[in-house]
A and B are shown apart, each in its own frame.
Chain A
Amino acid sequence: MVDRRTLIKGGLVAGGIGVIVSTGSLFPISFARANTDKRFVFIILRGAADGLSIVMPSGDPAYMGLRGAVAPEESPEKLDSTFSLHPALTEVGKLYSQRNAIFAQAIASVYRDRSHFDGQNVLESGGAKPFAVKTGWMNRMLSLVSAEDRRAIALASAIPLAMRGQNEVYTYSLGETQSLSDDVAARVAGLYRQDPELGTLWEAAVRTLDLAGDAGKGARRGARLGALAARLLAADDGARIMMIESSGWDTHVRQKVRLDSQLRELDATVGALVGGLGQDWANTMIVVATEFGRTAAINGTGGTDHGTGGMGMVLGGGLGAAKVVADWPGLSPAQLLQNRDLRPTASTEGMIVSAVSRHFAIDPGKVRRALYSELSSIKFPTF
């Protein structure tokens, strides 16, 4: 992307970094402070994050035999008698100790094959099988919240499938210019003076850049992402529903190092998001999910292959709970699915329905019908 130097050279930034003073709103549909102030964030872990290394069933007798070679060196924080949290997740661990975290273990979406492409399609569309549904569950979720709260943004360069559909969704990506001079902003605004459509969009664009500011500059990418997300969510006229994409979870090889670094980034995102939201964290929920889990055993290259049962997280300032929700199927060979994968005992869609229903105080049946109309029976993890 363009850096500031290029912009200066191009004459687009006159007189250094301009601080944008704008009365424009990020979301043209609302200017008033919303009644609920609830924020909802979905973080998708693309590539099938290894649930068994994140919410580790260290109390299961078969665990060390299967996973000893990739277990983290630091001793993990015990969540309960069966599970421990990966030590890279210090910020998430803090949330757990503050009763702001529920982990769901041994969950899977309705998808039962092992293609990332198809699995992510099911996770995002909410259909019963790949490509059966053309819109995303998050977009359908927007129809459940009040019109004032229907302000959605994806931190991505294009709208991810989960957010596609009839409700309007904005996108913003971290690569974008973090500053634009007043001068150029005013010139462009001049172009759109008589054009209500473009004029409104430009106001929102300037406001987004203004809010994003230099959020978390210089920090690791995960922290910058979290700081940016917090800025966009915290403002009175900011977003209320957000999707954050995280990729690189497909750890076939030398998982130990790779996963550690992935989890540190994720943890930094969550930490910066919670920190940046301040008191608004009390009204915020974060749901973390991935397309499927990974094999119980490690493979010949120190990694794990595509599996079935995995984990998900529900984090929230207003949760008032700290638990691992699992109808734990066990890891002995007979307990595994097809003698290789963690057997799923609850549904990822169910976790999402429970979380959305709890956060927005909407009847779960209504949420399920809106988000997952193709799925007649969902086994809910009990929150």
Chain B
Amino acid sequence: MRATTALNRFGYGARPGDKAPSDGAGWLEAQFNRFQVRPAAFSRLASRDQIADAIVAYRDFTRTPEGKAALGERREAAQAAKHAALGSASHTATNNLMQKNAALAKLDGYDFATQQNAMQIIARIQSAVETDTPFVERMVHFWANHFAVSADKRLMIGFAGLMEFEAIRPHVLGRFEDMLIAVEQHPAMLLYLDQPQSIGRDSALAKRVSKRAGKLPGLNENLAREILELHTLGARSDYTQADIIAFAQALTGWGVSGIFQKTAGANGRFGFAAARHEPGARTFMGKTYGQSGEDQALAILRDVAASRATAIHLATKLARHFTGDEPEPALVTRLAESFHQSGGHLPTVYRTLIEAPEPGEGIGKFKSPWDWTISTLRAIGKVPDQTDRSFERTLWLNGQPVWRPGSPNGFGDLDADWASPSALIQRLETASRWSVGLKSAIDARALAHTLFPDQPLSDDTSEVISGADSAGQAVSLLLVSPEFLRR
């Protein structure tokens, strides 16, 4: 494999001073031994326990009379601050309220979780920019988008990034089944898809509630449907609505300790609430599952992880990510076989991909905003510091906010999802802004050689870059060149 392909299509591009790998495939495989599950950039982050405890404490507090009063005052204070900006509130009154607000904010578990979300985003960017195992890092992000959660709900905003750090990174070089189970039992996924609100019709809890209030709480199919459609078998596989319901029934009881339930285990840990579980055996895709409690859904998960439809679904997505919108059927078949025969052993699948000829061909994919942003930061040697949220904002403006795809589908992975007129304008702007801020001037022609060691620039690109009116302009033009916009 050419070094340019290994660096860009499989990685996140070179950094200044990087030496071109002499053997592209070997360089990619060697990364499996160096990958750090918890890179240094994560060391400042709060733990899941800390975030969960803060949320639970705050939820408990806001249910007390004192807490309710405080909440009202806080809303008022927030409003007052806005009115002050519009000039419609008295200065002293606003100040008083704002002081109260600040005191209350310290208690707010959701504020803490939101701050942690911002810090996790910075850590993710730092890790991607600094890593010397960019291929494995790319695979982490691939799986995080495959198992997409969107941090739009305040209950899970602090957990969305942790799902990537705790459920995906440890298994990115392991088995798919283990990653799948870790993800589906993570609070981010459970809360995002409303699993804790799913209650079996004949569960002990439903019987209790219906006696008291006469209203039957219901089954929520969200998690079951998304697991089958998005995470494993894929849409248009041969499961039916009845299978979704059976799986959803098996999943009842899965939830998060401390949030909507009091189950054993620390706040924020996976917990099985037996009272919500729909009792009995059930039939899923023609097979009977007689397990009781939490094991029933686990057994189904293990079976769908091992299904051939899952292998084909994942192989198609992988091939699309590395070769383009319409991957070669032969490549998909080879990846699916590799997945199936290895029992979902991911490094084996990655090796099949690296050794395949197809990723070395074609003009490449139009980079997503994340791809483009990370490869740009690496190219110009810019690393965000601990408090710098400007890169997070850049990703918002470029249409790909971290961990907020807006739906369980995740961000699109087709050229048409990202290649647009406004993407070009936004990238030109971003590139020019960052090229201006560089501490020392970068020679765009030398940089081009580092980025594409065994592929000369096109005549057009080298002509435009040589004719640039400043060193900074040359760099920003290189960053929006066809060579750099695609990978």
Q: Could you list which residues of chain A lie within 8 angstroms of chain B, going by C-beta atoms?
A: 1-2, 6-7, 9-12, 14, 26, 117, 121, 130-131, 134, 157-159, 161, 168, 170-173, 175-177, 180, 184, 187-188, 190-195, 197-198, 201-202, 204-205, 207-209, 252-254, 257-258, 261, 300-301
Contact = CB atoms under 8 A, between A and B. Distances in A.
Contacts of B409: 134
A191 B436 contact: no
Contact of B477 (A2, A117, A121, A188): A188
6 contacts: A10-B433, A12-B473, A14-B469, A170-B421, A201-B419, A204-B421
Nearest to A171: B422
B399 A157 contact: yes
Contact of B400 (A6, A26, A158, A190): A158
A144 to B, nearest CB: 20
Interface string B1-19: 0000000000000000000
A26 B421 CA distance: 9
Interface stretch (B73-81, B139-147, B300-308): B73-81
B94 interface: no
Contacts of A175: 397
Contact of B425 (A9, A117, A168, A209): A209
A159 B406 CA distance: 10
A172 B422 contact: yes
A257 B82 CA distance: 10
Nearest to B412: A164
B432 interface: yes
A134 B407 CA distance: 8
A254 B97 CA distance: 14
Interface string B288-303: 0000000000000000
Interface string B225-238: 01000000000000
A209 B406 CA distance: 28
Contact of B79 (A130, A197, A253): A253
B407 A173 contact: no
Given A10-B473, A11-B473, A208-B421, A194 B460 contact: yes
Nearest to B396: A157
B464 A190 contact: yes
Contacts, number: 141
Contact of A131 (B75, B408, B480): B408
A117 B464 CA distance: 46
Q: How large is the interface on B (under 10, 10 to 19, 20 to 34, 35 or more residues)?
A: 35 or more
**Secondary structure at chain B's binding surface: helix, strand, loop or mixed?**
helix
B419 A197 contact: yes
A191 B428 contact: no
Given A171-B422, A202-B421, A187 B407 contact: no
Contacts of B366: 197
Contacts of B461: 191
Contact of B422 (A2, A173, A198): A173
Contact of B482 (A14, A131, A176, A192): A192
Contact of A157 (B398, B419, B482): B398
Given A12-B432, A194-B460, A261 B86 contact: yes
A198 B367 CA distance: 12
B241 to A, nearest CB: 12
B146 to A, nearest CB: 15
A194 B428 CA distance: 19
Contact of B88 (A14, A157, A190, A257): A257
Contacts of A11: 469-470, 472-473
Contact of A191 (B406, B425, B482): B482
Contacts of A253: 75-76, 78-79
B396 A6 contact: no
B446 to A, nearest CB: 19
B468 interface: yes
Contacts of B419: 197-198, 201
Nearest to B406: A161
Contacts of B88: 257
Nearest to B154: A117
B64 interface: no
